[in-house]
């Protein structure tokens, strides 16, 4: 099947999904009389379908062969699917940032505690923000597998984030640091849709500023954004009781 045929088939499946949702009573275009809970579900579903359509089109534009297209598309849709599965029980609870990053790497068999180190305060992201961040983490992990730290035995990835205290939207700064490479070009081939996801999409969806620095031993990526209530929240972890002095 040609690239055009594969994309046409995927878009046909998307249309079929919409028909099934309507048949099940989830009409994406008729929410005026629905309850607030149903409206929220419809809104999230509509946003997710729009993102899926954009991913299909950009994957087809960016990749050279049908095999590459389908492989990369499968990975990107898998990132969204993991977030959907994690949040299906209680979407309002939020999705753990640590788990989003760990799952993106685990999907490529990069296990935390072996070649991966992840640390940061407990942050729960809202569903939309979680989907966008999951895609960004997937792009970084895929790049590490193809060109970065996961291509060499001594390669390591450290993902850390911090929050500045105070205010309703504390600034969050996340760093993705790869080490173990040698003589990485200062300006390697662009990541294509990955670069777009890390820069333009994160800026549009989260108001984030992303910097990419290619050092000889590996990539450094920093993502900064204000953790506004619509994007997520920090969970205060009670301090352990040290007992009587």
Lowest-pLDDT range, 27-36, 68-77, 88-97?
27-36
Average pLDDT over every residue of 130-147: 93
Total residues found in the chain within this entry: 245
CB atoms within 10 A of CB 165: 7
Average pLDDT over every residue of 52-75: 68
**What is the reported pLDDT for 64?**
60
| CA atoms of 96 and 111, how far apart (whole Å) | 17
**What is the reported pLDDT for 77?**
80
Check: CB of residue 141 under 8 Å from CB of residue 159.
no
Q: Closest Cα partner for 232 from 118, 99, 129?
A: 129
Q: What are phi and psi of 123, to 5 degrees?
A: -125, 130
Quick check: 245 pLDDT over 50?
no
Lowest-pLDDT range, 103-117, 120-134, 198-212, 224-238?
224-238
Q: Any idea what the Cα angle at residue 115 is, between residues 122 and 107, rounded to 5°?
A: 70
Q: Closest Cα partner for 214 from 166, 179, 168, 163?
A: 179
Q: pLDDT (tens digit, 9 = 90+) per residue, 106-127?
A: 999 999 998 999 999 999 999 8
Question: Is residue 238 helix, strand or coil?
Answer: coil
**What is the reported pLDDT for 73?**
77
Lowest-pLDDT range, 41-50, 66-75, 182-191?
41-50
Quick check: 57 pLDDT over 50?
yes
Q: Closest Cα partner for 7 from 76, 50, 54?
A: 54
More confident residue, 133 or 30: 133
Check: CB of residue 229 under 8 Å from CB of residue 153.
no
Mean pLDDT of the chain: 79
Percent of the chain surpassing pLDDT 70:
66
Helix (H) or strand (E) holding 174: strand 171-179
| CA atoms of 207 and 224, how far apart (whole Å) | 9
**What is the reported pLDDT for 156?**
97
Pair of tokens at residue 25:
């009573």
**What is the reported pLDDT for 83?**
86
Would you give the distance in Å from CA 172 to the centre of its chain? 16
| CA atoms of 199 and 225, how far apart (whole Å) | 12
């Amino acid at each position: 099947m040609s690239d055009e045929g594969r994309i046409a088939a995927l878009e046909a499946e998307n249309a079929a999904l919409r028909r099934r949702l309507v048949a099940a009573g989830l009409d994406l275009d008729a929410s005026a009389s629905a309850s607030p809970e149903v409206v929220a579900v419809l809104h999230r579903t509509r946003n997710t379908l729009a993102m899926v359509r954009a991913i299909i089109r950009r994957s087809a534009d960016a990749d050279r062969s049908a095999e590459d297209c389908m492989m990369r598309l499968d990975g990107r849709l898998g990132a969204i699917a993991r977030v959907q599965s994690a949040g299906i029980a209680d979407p309002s609870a939020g999705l753990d940032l640590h788990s989003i990053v760990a799952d993106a790497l685990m999907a490529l068999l990069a296990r935390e505690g072996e070649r991966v180190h992840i640390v940061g305060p407990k942050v729960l992201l809202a569903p939309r923000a979680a989907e966008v961040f999951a895609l960004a983490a997937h792009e970084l992990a895929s790049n590490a597998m193809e060109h970065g730290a996961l291509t060499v035995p001594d390669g390591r990835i450290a993902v850390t984030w911090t929050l500045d205290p105070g205010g309703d939207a504390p600034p969050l700064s996340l760093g993705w640091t790869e080490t173990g490479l040698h003589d990485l070009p200062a300006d390697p081939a662009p990541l294509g849709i990955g670069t777009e996801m890390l820069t333009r999409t994160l800026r549009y969806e989260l108001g984030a500023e992303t910097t990419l620095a290619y050092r000889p031993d590996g990539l450094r990526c920093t993502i900064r954004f204000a953790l506004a209530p619509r994007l997520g929240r920090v969970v205060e972890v009670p301090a352990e009781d040290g007992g009587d002095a």
